[in-house]
Amino acid sequence: MKTLLAILLLIPSLSWGEDTKLSCNYIKEMIYGPDGETSLNYIFENPNIFIFNDSDKSLTRIYEYGNKEYYLDNEQSNKTFYNFTYENISMNVTHSEILKLNRFTLEISGETFKDTMLKTMYFMECKITN
């Protein structure tokens, strides 16, 4: 029993502390514009950095110029997937983003919207970093 408990504590996605730093690379992005869909497959050299706070279930994307905070959507989340939302209104235009974090595989899928129109969809692979 002690061995099993020790193994479970070594699996990062099951033993997250209060703040967990995630380094994420895009693996696919689809951009929706007036000319239709453009699909891009690549891995960015500069990873996206997220901080997941386990106590309040918030997710923060770290940028050089500031941070973007996402909030847990309790109605859409379950034990495997955490759904996060972000919304900002500037110049009477609503910019929103929805992220889905798989807490076991550390994959993030996201969608961004300008007003109600889908703008981009993307997929990221993440790993826990210090």
Hey, what are 121's tokens?
């969809």
Per residue in 61-91, pLDDT (tens digit) is: 998 888 999 999 988 889 899 999 999 888 8
Per residue in 6-55, pLDDT (tens digit) is: 444 444 444 455 899 999 988 888 888 777 777 666 666 667 899 999 88
pLDDT in the model for residue 32: 83
pLDDT in the model for residue 98: 95
pTM: 0.76
Is the model's pLDDT at 58 over the cut of 60?
A: yes
What CA–CA distance (Å, rounded) separates 97 from 17? 26
